[in-house]
Amino acid sequence: MTSDAARADGLTDAVQAVLPALEQWLRFTDMTGPARRRDSWQAVLDVPLPDKGAGAGPALAELADWVVANGLPIGAPGFTGFITTGPSTVPAVAQFAAAVASPQRYAVSAFNLLEGVSLRWLAQACGLDPTVAGVYSSGGSVANLLALGAARQAAFERLGVDVGRDGLPPGARGRIYAGTEAHHTIHRSAAVLGLGREAVRPVPVDDRQRVRPDLLAGMIERDVAAGDVPVAVVGVAGTTNTGAIDPLDALADVAERHGVWLHVDGAYGLPAAGVEELAGRFAGVRRAQSWIVDPHKWLATGVGCAATFVRDPELLHRTFTQTPAAYLAMPGSGAVASAFEDFGVHYDDLSVELSAPPRGVLVWAVLREIGRDGLHERIRRHVAYARRLTDLARAHPRLEALTDPELSVACLRYRPAHPVADAELDALNEELLRRLWRTTAHLPSSTVVAGRFAIRPCYVGVRHTDADVTGLAAALVELGDALVAERAA
C-alpha cells in the first residue's frame, strides 16, 4: 500500500469495471445517442475541479457509464467519414499494454526493440526498401513535418548552410511544390519550418485530381531564376479527398533533373503500394528521398501512430537534434546489465518528441496477427468496396459517380430524375448527407470534386462489410427521393 491517493494496484478489477461498457460500445447500436444526449453527459462531466477525489471505483464507473458510452464511433462498420479508423482488438490491447509496461519507447526493452523491427516490417509491407531509416510520431502532420525538415536541411546544406543549427539565412525563400489536392499539413509544415505557408507552390491537377508533372518543371525553373531555393517536391500517394495517386515516376524524373528532394505523402495510401496488383499505380515510389505512412489509417492501430522514412537519418538528426541534456547522457559501453545503460536509437534526436509512447508495438501487433497477406487482403477488399459503390452509382439512374476510384475512397452524389442546376444539386446533397448522419448508421463525409459537392466514403476500417456498401447506395437513393418529394410538396 503506497501513500499516494491514486491506486497503483488492482488492474484486473479496474479493467473489468470498464470492459462491459467497452464491449457494449463495440456493438455500435446507438450511433446518434452521444450527440442527442450531449446535455446529460456534459452536465455530469463538465464540473468544477474536485478538491477531494471520488476514489477509483466512482471514477471508473463514471468512465464506463458516461465517457465510454459517449465516445466517437469511428471504428463502426458504417463509419467511412474520416481517413482514420478505430483499432482492431489486438493493437487496442497492445496500446493498453504499452501504457502499463513501457510508457516510454527508449532503453533496453522489448517495446524498444519493436520500434525498429516494426519500422522495417512496415517499410517492407509498403513495398519500400527495408533498409530505409524510420521514426514514429503521433500522426501524418508530424510525420510530414519531419520529412520536410530533412528536405529543408538537405536543400540548404547544398548552399553551405546548416539550417538546423543556424536557422534560415536572411531573405532566403524556400519552395515546396505540391498538387492542389495535397493535404494542408504540408502547408503547416512549411510554416513551422520557417518557410511560410505561402512557400508551398500549388501545382495544378488533372481531371483525375493527380498533380501535373508537365507543369512542375517550369515552376521550379522560374523560382530558381528568381533566386528561390527548391526544398521539396511532394507526391501524394493517395489524396485525402479522392484517393488519387500522383504520378510518382514522372515527379521523380522532374525532381531528379532539378536536384530537388522528392517526398511521398503516403499517410493514407502507401500500404497499397505493397499490394501486387496495385503497385503499378505507385510506380516510382522507391525513387523518393522520404515517405510517410500512418498506421492509424489502413493498419487500424488506433490513432496516434505515423512513420517517417528517409534514406539518410543523419539529415533528420542534424535537423532535429537537441542540445545534449546531461540527464540523457547514458554510460553505454560493454555488457548491458540494466535497461538504463543503453538508451537505444535516439529517436528523440530524429524527431520533435522526447517523451513518447512506444508505437512500434502497435504496428507489430497488427502485422504479427494478420501478416503482410492479411493487410494486403484488407486493402484489396476496401479498394473493391469503393469500386463497387462507384459501379452501383453508375448503374443507378439517380446516383452519379464523380470519380473513378484508385484506392478506397469513392465520391458520388444523388441526382434527381429532373434536370437541376449544380448549385441546387450541391444543396440537395448537403441536406441528404445530414439526414444520412441523423437517421442511419451510414456515416461518410463530404468533399468537393472539381467544384461539385460529393458524398465521400473512405473504406479503411476493419468492420466494414458488403452490406455497408450496398446499404449506403440504397440509403442515398431512398433519402434523396424522399427529400425531392418533400421539396416538391
Measured CA to CA in angstroms, residue 265 lies from 9, 153, 309, 420 at distances of 43, 18, 11, 38
Q: Which residue lies nearer to ligand PLP by CB, 139 or 344?
A: 139
Q: How many residues bind ligand PLP (CB under 6 A)?
A: 14
Q: Which of 219, 267, 300, 436 binds ligand PLP (CB under 6 A)?
A: 267
Judged on CB neighbours under 10 Å (0-12, 13-18, 19+), 161 is middle
Residue placing its CB nearer to ligand PLP in the complex, 144 or 209: 144
409: left (phi over 0), alpha (psi -120 to 50) or beta: beta
| Residues 194-223 within binding reach of ligand PLP (CB under 6 A) | none
Write out the binding residues for ligand PLP, residues 275-294 only, by CB under 6 A.
294
Contact set for ligand PLP, span 74-133 (CB under 6 A): 83
Q: In this chain, which stretch among 49-57, 122-130, 261-269, 457-465 interacts with ligand PLP, using CB under 6 A?
A: 261-269
Stretch of 134-142, 168-176, 409-417, 428-436 contacting ligand PLP, by CB under 6 A:
134-142
Q: Exposure of 39 by Cβ count < 10 A (0-12 exposed, 13-18 middle, 19+ buried)?
A: exposed
Confirm or reject binding of residue 240 to ligand PLP (CB under 6 A). yes
Position 263 contacts ligand PLP (CB under 6 A): no
d(CA 461, CA 75): 6
CB of 241 to ligand PLP, least distance (A): 9
Q: Please identify, among the stretches 27-35, 171-179, 207-215, 264-272, the one whose residues bind ligand PLP according to the rule CB under 6 A.
A: 264-272
By the rule CB under 6 A, 265 interacts with ligand PLP: yes
Residues 10 and 50: their CA atoms lie apart, in Å, by: 23
Q: Give the nearest distance from C-beta 140 to ligand PLP in angstroms.
A: 2
Q: Which residue of 75, 81, 91, 140 would you call a contact of ligand PLP, by CB under 6 A?
A: 140
Measured from the CB atom, the residue of 318 and 464 that comes closer to ligand PLP is: 464
Which lies closer to ligand PLP via its Cβ, residue 229 or residue 366?
366
Complex with ligand PLP: residue 141 or 319, whichever CB lies closer: 141
Please identify, using beta-carbon distances, which residue of 137 and 390 lies nearer to ligand PLP. 137
Smallest distance from the beta carbon of 382 to ligand PLP, in angstroms? 15
Give the N- to C-terminal CA distance of the chain in Å, as an integer. Answer: 71
Q: What's the Cα-to-Cα distance from 454 to each of 221, 228, 411, 414, 422, rounded to whole Å?
A: 36, 38, 6, 9, 12
Question: Exactly one of 106, 156, 268, 320 binds ligand PLP (CB under 6 A); which one?
Answer: 268
Q: How many beta carbons lie within 10 A of that of residue 159, not counting itself? A: 10
Residue facing ligand PLP at closest CB distance: 140
Pairing of strands 261-265, 290-293: parallel
Nearest to 442 by CA among 426, 408, 465: 465
Q: Listing from the earlier edge strand, what are the strands of the sheet with 443-449?
A: 79-80, 443-449, 452-456, 412-414, 399-401
Q: Which of 105, 152, 175, 183 binds ligand PLP (CB under 6 A)?
A: 183
Give the CA angle between residues 221, 285, 347 to the nearest 5°.
100
Q: What angle do CA 315, 321, 324 make, to 5 degrees?
A: 145
Q: Which of residues 346-405 bind ligand PLP (CB under 6 A)?
A: none
Query: Where does this chain touch ligand PLP (CB under 6 A) — which range of 123-131, 153-161, 260-268, 397-405?
Result: 260-268
Phi, then psi, of 202 in degrees rounded to 5: -80, 115
Among 233, 306, 316, 383, which residue sits at the site for ligand PLP (rule: CB under 6 A)? 306
Assess 304 for contact with ligand PLP (CB under 6 A).
no
Q: Which is nearer to ligand PLP, 88 or 141 (CB)?
A: 141
Q: Collapsing DSSP states into helix, strand and coil, what is residue 206?
A: coil
Among 70, 95, 185, 209, binds ligand PLP (CB under 6 A): 185
Q: CB-wise, 229 or 307, nearer to ligand PLP?
A: 307
Pairing of strands 443-449, 229-236: unpaired
In whole angstroms, give the CA distance from residue 143 to residue 193: 13
What's the CA gap between 345 and 365, in Å, rounded? 21
Q: Which residues of this chain interact with ligand PLP, rule CB under 6 A?
A: 83, 139-141, 144, 183, 185, 236, 240, 265, 267-268, 294, 306
